[in-house]
Amino acid sequence: MSHFQITVVCLGNICRSPIAEAVVRHRLAAARLAEHVRVDSAGTGDWHLGYPVDPRAQATLARHGYALEHRARQIDPTWFAGIDLALAMDTANYADLRTMLDAAGTRTEVRMLRGFDPALADVVEPSGLLDVPDPYYGGDEGFDTVLTMIERAADGLVERLRAGAWQR
């Protein structure tokens, strides 16, 4: 059986997208979908290639019961052949992914992660209203805010997947 592949994408792949990777994996396991749906993450930029998750992101994950071992990676158009759903953390990431998708020529679906938050269902993608703000230059509280946004969206995403969206 083939797997449905989700790749979560932010700018540097050390804060937002690794948090989302950990949360979505956790939610998939709880929903007993982990054997059908795979999730990973990457960044559009190369500044942090090979670096571990930002220590503040790692601490936030640990405080909330999530675990993740991760090294930053950079997505490029060659990845799209193996991705079913690419989830952008903000509108700039969304635009970058759409440009890469055009170059790749695949049928990968590109969405904004918060587009799966049921409370934001009326917001048309892409929209800055769906941005997950980058907490990198702020304090610890920004990571908690980002985690809350991601958890809400992840719950909506898993509900869609549970309804069979991963079966292609």
Q: Which residues are catalytic?
A: 10, 16, 134
Q: How many whole angstroms separate alpha carbon 157 and alpha carbon 152? A: 9
SS (H, E, C) 99-115: HHHHHHCCCCEEEEHHH
Q: 149: which residues sit within 8 A by CB, 6+ positions away?
A: 114, 117, 132
User: Coil, helix or strand for 74?
Assistant: strand
CB 159 within 8 A of CB 25: no
Q: How many whole angstroms separate alpha carbon 93 and alpha carbon 115? A: 14
Alpha helices in the chain (DSSP H): 16-30, 55-63, 91-104, 140-160
The rounded Cα 37 to chain-centroid distance in angstroms is 13
